[in-house]
Structure 1
């Protein structure tokens, strides 16, 4: 969600953007799992997500859908602009819960859902849910982590709110900001779901910077 205007209580904002500390209260979106389960390790010729964080502009990072190729260079199936972190002073601190971008490392993809319903205060629509990750300080766990966009559960856009940021409507580059999750614009997450359905759903997310 964008952070130009605060239109909801803090708990609602945390639920919308992800990246909570494990000690924080579980938001509404944690009440139900995403429907498409993904288990096990990636096959040698399977697919995975690769997120390359942009040190100069975290909101202009890149997310790739990759195909593993045994004994050869992996193939890029799709490439998207993506963001992670709130863009503020702690936006590149992976241990800053609800502010910083995702920690580097490999994450298991837990599930995906084309019509996720996190409730009125949660993440909705197309989501890919990844496992929690302990950051570099060894103490802080980043939790409730998703690849998502801004939309209603059925995929539609909310009505505009003049002078306000609407967390269920994509309004521009500020919407690449998050509290930890990876965010894509709606057209790109639609394309990612189409490509993953065609080439196979990724089992892992690899995050680098």
Structure 2
């Protein structure tokens, strides 16, 4: 568990309240005292609608972050995932880069692996994504730590679904027993190219854990934050 105060990791609800725009659904309501502690705003009692959070208009968003997938067209399985965290001291202050770290990643498979409009084969379409992070996903094919991205339509309108940043590991983020063939719950590079993915973004278990630790310094699992607070950006 991060040593940072919980309030500091719940800045997700701050950005849109002052404009009057509706906030995206989140997993939990944030106590007004937590918001005030994170921002220095005067604590008030906002009206809370189920599934959303309203915060004081005086709140100032002081941190934002992005997980960037930077495509490598010549070597798709040597693309990069980049964590960027920025801070500012006040509403009119400029954003400044606080941390940037990158890791190897891959996406796509087969001869059409670099076409973002090909379902279950091409890598992710360009653009910004909201997401929900999970620490112990129990799925049919993808388990353990994941960042589950929103659906996205590519340039020709094809809807891409079931988009994740993930690895090959067990529900508890371990490695299953070695066995003949390519195991979906065991990272086997270089014997097998486990950076290959049917449309998702793949990282090694250790690199995915490092990314997740940085995310959890400020943000919680199970919450869909506004893209203005933290997002995945696919570019290249």
Q: CA deviation at 1:78?
A: 2.1
1:208 aligns with 2:229: no
SS at match of 1:196: helix
SS at match of 1:179: coil
Structure 2 partner of 1:115 = 136
Structure 2 partner of 1:9 = none
Instruction: Confirm or deny: 8 A CA contact 2:86 2:99 kept in the other structure.
Output: no
Work out the CA distance in 2 between the residues paired with 1:85 and 1:112: 21
Structure 1 partner of 2:6 = none
Aligned length: 166
Instruction: Confirm or deny: 8 A CA contact 1:47 1:200 kept in the other structure.
Output: no
SS at match of 1:46: strand
Q: CA deviation at 1:158?
A: 1.1
SS at match of 1:189: helix
Instruction: Confirm or deny: 8 A CA contact 1:99 1:180 kept in the other structure.
Output: yes
**RMSD, aligned α-carbons:** 2.2
Work out the CA distance in 2 between the residues paired with 1:65 and 1:156: 23
Alignment of 1:154-165 (within 5 A): 154-162=172-180, 164-165=181-182
Instruction: Please list every run of at least 4 consecutive aligned residues from structure 1 whose deviation after the TM superposition is greater than 6 angstroms.
Output: none
Q: For the structure 1 residues 176 and 197, does the alpha-carbon distance in structure 2 shift closer, same or farther, using more than 3 Å as the test?
A: same
Work out the CA distance in 2 between the residues paired with 1:168 and 1:48: 27
Q: 1:182 aligns with which of 185, 195, 201?
A: 201
1:131 aligns with 2:158: no
Q: For the structure 1 residues 46 and 72, does the alpha-carbon distance in structure 2 shift closer, same or farther, using more than 3 Å as the test?
A: closer
Q: 1:81 aligns with which of 84, 89, 104?
A: 104
Larger radius of gyration: 2
1:147 aligns with 2:174: no
Q: Deviations over 1:37-92 (max 9, x none)?
A: 5989xx56211211100011111100011113452453443211111101x21010
Comparing 73-82 with 184-193, which one deviates more in the overlay? 73-82
Comparing 61-70 with 49-58, which one deviates more in the overlay? 61-70
Give the TM-score normalised by structure 2.
0.65
